[in-house]
Structure 1
Amino acid sequence: MFPRLLAQRALHTSRPLFESPSVLESTLRDALKASMKAKDKPAAACLKTILADVTNAAKSGSNPNEPINEEGVMTVLKKGISQRTQASESYSPSSPSPHPENYSSLQKEIDLLRSFLPKSPSNEIIQTLVDKVIGALPDDIRSSKGAAGKVIAGLWEELGDKKGGVDRKVVGKMVQEALKKLQI
Structure 2
Amino acid sequence: MSEQGLVQQLKDAVKASMRAKDKPRTQALRLIQAELKRVEVDERIELDDARVLTIMDKMVKQRRDSIKQYEDAGRTELAEVEHYEVSVIQDFLPEALSAEELSAIVDKAVAEVNPTGMQDMGKVMALVKPQVQGRADMGAVSKLVKASFA
Q: Tell me which interval the TM-score lies in, with the shorter structure as reference length.
A: 0.7 to 0.9
**How many residue pairs end up in the alignment?**
147
Is residue 85 of structure 2 the alignment partner of residue 109 of structure 1? yes
Residues 156 and 89 (structure 1), Cα distance of their counterparts in 2 relative to 1, 3 Å cut: closer
- In 1, Cα distance between the equivalents of 2:104 and 2:37? 37
Give per-residue Cα distances to partners, 1:123-171, cap 9 Å, x unaligned. Answer: 2221133223324544xxx2234321232234357x3xx5442332221
Partner of 1:177: 147
Is residue 13 of structure 2 the alignment partner of residue 37 of structure 1? no
Partner of 2:135: 165
Local SS of the residue matching 1:28: helix
Residue identity opposite 2:148 in structure 1: A
Larger Rg: 1
1:71-110 to 2 correspondence within 5 Å? Answer: 71-92=50-71, 95=72, 97-110=73-86
Give per-residue Cα distances to partners, 1:20-57, cap 9 Å, x unaligned. Answer: xx700111111111111111111111111110111111
Residues 120 and 163, structure 1, Cα contact 8 Å, conserved in 2: no
Partner of 1:147: 120
Q: Which runs of 5+ in 2 are unaligned?
A: none
- In 2, Cα distance between the equivalents of 1:147 and 1:175? 10
- In 2, Cα distance between the equivalents of 1:100 and 1:152? 35
Partner of 2:49: 70
- In 2, Cα distance between the equivalents of 1:166 and 1:87? 19
Q: How large is the RMSD of aligned CA atoms in angstroms?
A: 2.2
Partner of 1:54: 36
Residues 32 and 149 (structure 1), Cα distance of their counterparts in 2 relative to 1, 3 Å cut: same
Local SS of the residue matching 2:21: coil
TM-score, length-scaled by structure 2:
0.83
